[in-house]
Structure 1
Amino acid sequence: MTYRAISEILEQHDADFGAAEAHGVATGMLCVEIKADVENWLRELFADGQHLADDDKNLLCGIFEQTRTLLENQNDEFAFDLLLPDEDDALAEQVEALRCWCQGFLFGVGYAHTDADWPGDTAEVMRDMIELTKIDSELGEGDDENALIEIREYVRAAVFTVRDQFAEQNPLQPH
């Protein structure tokens, strides 16, 4: 499942989110509650009750379930990655997608966790994610590509910090 394929489905059905942001929402929801319901995610993506073709719905459900599986797999945290444009795409597009992904992650965590208390280091991670939603996509090349890679790796690590903190708070929840 590629970023482009998911983008096309979401655009075709006038989703309220792009591919990166939608994946961020799914990831945030699953970090708080690994048993999150895919139907709740779909309702957020298509607030107007858009009817999806079975193939499109199956593909979207597949990305959600794949994300769940990758987040549950504690033995290989490197298998999980953010759904973002390819490294060959324009740097500005990659940065904008990362910004949207972080925005979606914040939404997903907030959707699943309405309590004001954040477990462990989660509050600090949320502040960092908020700062990343302000990132400027009009960057130059060169060092900015390396910076983007570092930020992307930080976000990946932050996802597992949030997942682990919520799992500790809810010890009955498998992770």
Structure 2
Amino acid sequence: MPEPRVPESLPTLAAVEAAVRQLGLGTEAVELHGGLCGWLAGGGALTPAWPAQVLVDAAIPAVTRDDVLDRLGRASAAQFEDRDFGFTLLLPPADAPLSARSGALFHWCRGFLGGFGLAAGKEPPLSEEGREALADLARLAAASAQDDGDEEDEEALAEIGEFVRVAALLIHGDCVLGPRHRQQLH
């Protein structure tokens, strides 16, 4: 029996935040990851120039092999391709305040929508479920961070985070995996 594959891990949020600061990028680390994931889900290619493409700024230098942003790109692409659905969002840890975690999730969604729009264009090949998921992500992207709450709020945020993760996988399936599969059949 083959060993189960372990999906490639994302760099830590702190490492990505440091790389974003060092490069002087005008975004947060979570929004950059959301943008990268939207770019990949919309069919954008993972090249060394992905940060410049996702942030629409040709002045951003290309990633260098094995630097933090290169590892972020490779891990994200590998997670999208993981047959065990090992895709994860780059977000603050569970012990961060609820307001920080909910705000980060909404920023991730904003980034996803931007990257997706750039890669997929005006008429992406989305299923009805994919269109609904994209509309839900847009609603989340417009939401604001919630102040600290109770256990019920914690559970709701966990459910929303899981929904976002599955929505990104669904959209990637519609726009990347589905067309790839159809090409292989022809």
**TM (normalized to structure 2)?**
0.81
Q: How do residues 47-62 of structure 1 correspond to structure 2 at under 5 angstroms? A: 47=57, 49-51=59-61, 54=64, 58-62=67-71
Taking only aligned residues, the RMSD between alpha carbons, in angstroms, comes to 2.2
Shift of 1:85: 0.6
Q: Distance in 1 between matches of 2:33 and 2:122?
A: 22
Higher deviation after alignment, 151-160 or 41-50: 41-50
Contact 1:21 / 1:102 at 8 angstroms: preserved in 2?
yes
Q: Distance in 2 between matches of 1:47 and 1:140?
A: 36
Does structure 1 residue 92 correspond to structure 2 residue 94? no
Q: Pick from 133, 144, 152 the counterpart of residue 141 of structure 2.
A: 133
Contact 2:97 / 2:148 at 8 angstroms: preserved in 1?
no
- Secondary structure, aligned partner of 1:24: helix
Q: Distance in 1 between matches of 2:59 and 2:16?
A: 18
What corresponds to 1:172 in structure 2?
A: 183
Does structure 1 residue 2 correspond to structure 2 residue 12? yes
Q: Pick from 35, 57, 66 the counterpart of residue 75 of structure 2.
A: 66
Give the gaps of 5 or more residues in structure 2. 1-10
Q: Distance in 2 between matches of 1:45 and 1:7?
A: 15
Higher relative contact order (CA 8 A, sep 6+): 1
Contact 1:13 / 1:52 at 8 angstroms: preserved in 2?
no
Contact 1:16 / 1:47 at 8 angstroms: preserved in 2?
no
Q: Pick from 50, 74, 81 the counterpart of residue 41 of structure 1.
A: 50
Does structure 1 residue 161 correspond to structure 2 residue 175? no
- Secondary structure, aligned partner of 2:67: helix
Q: Distance in 2 between matches of 1:48 and 1:14?
A: 14
Identity rate, percent: 27
What corresponds to 2:21 in structure 1?
A: 11
Give the gaps of 5 or more residues in structure 1. none
CA displacement, residues 78-112 of structure 1 (integer Å, 9 cap, x when unaligned): x2110001111111111111011001111111011
CA displacement, residues 23-76 of structure 1 (integer Å, 9 cap, x when unaligned): 11111111122x613334221348261447858x721011111111111112x1
What corresponds to 1:152 in structure 2?
A: 161
Contact 1:82 / 1:156 at 8 angstroms: preserved in 2?
yes
Shift of 1:172: 3.1
Q: Pick from 38, 63, 76 the counterpart of residue 28 of structure 1.
A: 38
Contact 1:4 / 1:85 at 8 angstroms: preserved in 2?
no
